[in-house]
């Protein structure tokens, strides 16, 4: 994997509705706003992004499979699939590149069913509760992981 390959940023179900979806929880920024932010911030690290959203679990699984060897890292907000999808977990297990999990809301301050994440079992770390800024922090994390030698801590 190489830093010239894009960071795949995956967004799961209902995140296409950001801006109108429960703004008190998720903010007023749209997914397009977040994509623009990510593109601009990635540039500061010399990275590019491939930013996608799907409401379909299988489509997300296929995109993760295709990221093998073609993405320098994966940032994933799997939405509700975070808490339910063994299929997404299994796909992420195929990935050698850094994986960073993002949630706009602070999932541990919400309903108990949101406290478990399948994605966390394979992610290097999770950023939760910082709204859209979480994606920027996730890019910082990927950039830092890409600089860390694999044998290092």
Residues that bind ligand DQA (CB under 6 A): 14, 77, 79-80, 82, 103-105, 107, 114
Helix (H/G/I), strand (E/B), else coil: 50: strand
Q: Which of 41, 103, 118, 135 is catalytic?
A: 103
Nearer to ligand DQA, 72 or 117 (CB): 117
Nearer to ligand DQA, 79 or 146 (CB): 79
103 is catalytic: yes
DSSP secondary structure letter of residue 3: T
Decide: residue 153, CB within 10 A, 0-12 exposed, 13-18 middle, 19+ buried.
exposed
Cα(65)–Cα(38) distance, integer angstroms: 22
Cα(84)–Cα(117) distance, integer angstroms: 8
Residue listed under structure tokens 């590149």 = 97
26 is catalytic: yes
Q: Which of 26, 81, 118, 135 is catalytic?
A: 26
Min dist. Cβ of residue 144 to ligand DQA (A): 22
Nearer to ligand DQA, 37 or 114 (CB): 114
Min dist. Cβ of residue 15 to ligand DQA (A): 6
Are 67 and 2 contacting, i.e. CB atoms less than 8 angstroms apart?
no
List the catalytic residues.
26, 103
């Amino acid at each position: 994997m190489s830093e010239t390959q894009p960071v795949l940023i995956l967004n799961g179900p209902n995140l296409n509705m950001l801006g109108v979806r429960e703004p008190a929880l998720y903010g007023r920024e749209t997914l397009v706003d977040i994509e623009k932010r990510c593109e601009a911030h990635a540039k500061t690290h010399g990275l590019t992004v491939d930013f996608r959203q799907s409401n379909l679990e299988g489509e997300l699984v296929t995109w993760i499979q295709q990221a093998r060897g073609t993405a320098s890292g994966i940032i994933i907000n799997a939405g509700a699939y975070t808490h339910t999808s063994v299929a997404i977990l299994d796909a992420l297990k195929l990935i050698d590149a850094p994986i960073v999990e993002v949630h706009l809301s602070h999932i541990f301050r919400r309903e108990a069913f949101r406290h478990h994440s399948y994605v966390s079992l394979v992610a290097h770390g999770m950023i939760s509760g910082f709204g859209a800024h979480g994606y920027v922090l996730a890019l910082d994390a990927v950039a830092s992981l890409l600089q860390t030698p694999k044998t290092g801590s």
